[in-house]
Amino acid sequence: MLLLLIFGSLVLLGLVTWYLLNMQSAAISRQGIALAAGAPAASLLSKRHGSANNAIVITGPAQSGKTSLWYHLRFPAPRNRHEDNNNNNNNNNNNNDSADTNIDDGNKAFASARTPSLPETLASMAINTVETDIHEGRALLIDIPGHPKFKFDRDSHLALAKGVLFVIDSSTIAQSVRPTAEALYEVLANKSVQEKECPVLLLCNKQDEPSSVSNTRIKAMLEDEINSLRASRQASAKSLGHANYDDDDDAAAEEKAADFLGYDGKKFSFEDLPNPVQLNESSMVIGHDAGGFEHIERWIADTVQS
């Protein structure tokens, strides 16, 4: 009987020990995942005594490629290794045709399919943050999911922004120009963005897709849509009695200034905004010649150093 009691006690002690070890392991795993995803922006800023002079907010509609871009900016090595390998191949094969450097039009699609890309990501449902060196600058990159429930988080992080990187899906913009313009309007009309005259880079992503639209065309589409949105917002505000633009009331004037983009009586143009707005094409497919990555990195470095 005594032996059974001792055996039972040992078994129970073993089970308790096993449970505690598993709980500790799970806690360590969760901590590792959290660190891999990036520390919260508030934590990073608190370590820097509340400074927000290097925060770049990456925002835009869902599934436009924001998190893929965030990963590239944080881990740029794969692209560099690919470029180094191409350079080495070219140097070692000066007298030979290379399958990757001598591609006719009929094989471009096949070559694109073989081109390495960044890790595929799902639509993010969490904010990713990391502070990293980009060229001569150091930037706090904040990736905000495009889901509508993150609008409050987006606006609160825009208050920290030194610059805004708005990512657009060039391959679906023809079908999604309205919601894209609405999201962009909210960013451009944000009080903090306007007061600080934050630089904004509109990144026309997924240029490797056959259905992609050029940045010149996207610029025209967005300006037309924002012009329409501006008129409907103005009419809606007047009909609800929230804005009387003939009144000298300071609150009404402030509301008009905050929500109205461009000049009254003039068709909307990005050039009419107080903050500089640039457009650039990009692709998250490594090696795709969209002229994007170097320009993005240079824009971020110049913005955080300005």
pLDDT in tens, 186-201: 999 999 999 999 999 9
Q: Name residues whose C-beta falls within 8 Å of residue 224's C-beta, 6 or more positions apart in sequence.
A: none
Q: How far apart are CA 134 and CA 265, in angstroms?
A: 41
Is 125 within 8 Å of 154 (Cβ atoms)? no
Which residue matches tokens 């055996």? 7
| C-alpha torsion 163→167→170→176, nearest 10 | -110
Q: Name residues whose C-beta falls within 8 Å of residue 51's C-beta, 6 or more positions apart in sequence.
A: 45
Is 281 within 8 Å of 62 (Cβ atoms)? no
Q: How far apart are CA 33 and CA 27, in angstroms?
A: 10
Q: Tell me, what's the pLDDT at 147?
A: 86
Q: How far apart are CA 211 and CA 173, in angstroms?
A: 9
Q: Name residues whose C-beta falls within 8 Å of residue 302's C-beta, 6 or more positions apart in sequence.
A: 137
| Torsion-angle region of 41 (φ positive above 0: left; ψ -120 to 50: alpha; else: beta) | alpha
| pLDDT band of 165, cuts 50, 70, 90 | very high
Is 174 within 8 Å of 79 (Cβ atoms)? no
Whether the pLDDT of residue 302 is over 90: the answer is yes
Q: How far apart are CA 161 and CA 194, in angstroms?
A: 11
Which residue has better confidence, 80 or 177?
Answer: 177
Q: Calculate the alpha carbon distances from 302 to 36, 201, 203, 276, 295 in Å.
A: 27, 12, 16, 13, 10
Which residue has better confidence, 51 or 195?
Answer: 195
Roughly what angle, to the nearest 10 degrees, separates helices 151-158 and 173-188?
50
Residue 272 has phi, psi (to 5 degrees) of -85, -5
Which residue matches tokens 């825009």? 158
Q: Tell me, what's the pLDDT at 26?
A: 45
Q: Tell me, what's the pLDDT at 241?
A: 57
Residue 305 burial class via C-beta count within 10 angstroms: exposed 0-12, middle 13-18, buried 19 and up: middle
Q: Calculate the alpha carbon distances from 256 to 29, 153, 191, 271, 303 in Å.
A: 50, 24, 12, 19, 28
Which helix H or strand E contains 132, and what residues bound it? strand 128-134
Which residue has better confidence, 251 or 100?
Answer: 251
Whether the pLDDT of residue 301 is over 90: the answer is yes
Please provide the average confidence, as pLDDT, over all residues in the chain: 74
| pLDDT band of 35, cuts 50, 70, 90 | very low
Q: Tell me, what's the pLDDT at 11?
A: 63
DSSP-assigned letters across all residues of 158-222: HTTEEEEEEEEETTTHHHHHHHHHHHHHHHHT-HHHHHHT--EEEEEE-TTSTT---HHHHHHHH
